[in-house]
Each structure stands twice: as C-alpha cells, then as structure tokens.
Amino acid sequence: MGRHTWGKTVGALVLAAAVAAASGCSSSDDKGSGKPKPSATAAAKAKTVTVEAATTTFQDAVTAFDTDGGCLEQEPGTCWDQMQALMAPARDLRAAMNAEKSVGADFWTEAYTLIDTMETGIAVGEDQGAPAGAATLPETTNRDDVLGTAHKLSDWLDQHPIA
C-alpha cells in the first residue's frame, strides 16, 4: 500500500507542475512587483525608428558597401556578409515604412517591391557567387537581387523623401 500512496503523490505533483506551467504561473519574483509587463506591441513600437532615420541608416549601409569596394570576388560565399549587412537595415526601413502614417501604403509600393526582391535573394540562404561574364548576363545570381536592388532602393529613397 505504501507504493500506491507514493505513486499517487508523485502523480499529483507532476500534474500540479504541468498545470502551473500551462497556466503561465510565474515565480514569486514577478508577484507583487507592481510593474506591469510590457506588451509585445509596446516593445515593437519602441524599436521602430522613423522613416527618415531608417532611410539614413540604409543609405549609409549602401555607401559603406560601395566605399569598402563592394563585392569583387566571383566565388560563392564571398559576399554573404555584405548581403546581410544591406538586408538588415532594409528590414528596419520596411518596419518604419509600415509605421509611417503621413503617406498611404500606395506611396511605398515600389519600395516594398524592391525590399521583397532583396528578401528573395536572401532567402536562398547563401551567396551564390557570380559566374564568369556576369556583367553581360541580364540576371546573374542572388547577388543582383540583394546588392543591385539595394542600390535601386537607395535611388528610390532619394527621389521620394519623407520629412
């Protein structure tokens, strides 16, 4: 009979722990602190920068890419870091565009399309390199999608300033 009682006790403790975890019970450190937890939307809004700041950051990344020499190597994988360095501020720019209320979504259509093209190039998951004669090909590899489109987006931002 001792084993039966012990089994029920362990089972009850396991059940209690599972229920506590599923219900989101928190530790005693959270209780009574008087500070409400920030919501996910509040955290997202706090991270969103203005379109002007995001534009500057993105265009600075494009300028840095150019002044550092761009991507001269043809071998695959040699430009992945530069591609990601341009994609990160492009994503921040998209978030800032989404939050901008002074213009409608239609205003951003071309910019969204350019950022989506960059995302398509990044989605490959690696730098595919540039084949010999790439300058004469109409579409080379995912480098064009990311690096070339970043320059097009920078030009578009110059032509469509938001103040």
pLDDT single digits (tens) 46-62: 567 899 999 999 999 99
Point out the least confidently predicted range of 6-10, 55-59, 75-79, 152-156.
6-10
**CB atoms near residue 132 (< 10 Å):** 8
**Confidence bin at 108 (pLDDT 50/70/90):** very high
The DSSP secondary structure of the chain, one letter per residue, reads: -HHHHHHHHHHHHHHHHHHHHHHT---TTTTT--PPPPPHHHHHHHHPPPHHHHHHHHHHHHHHHHHTT-----STTSSHHHHHHHHHHHHHHHHHHHH--SS-GGGGHHHHHHHHHHHHHHHT-S-----TTGGGSSS-SHHIIIIIHHHHHHHHHHHS---
pTM above 0.75, yes or no: no
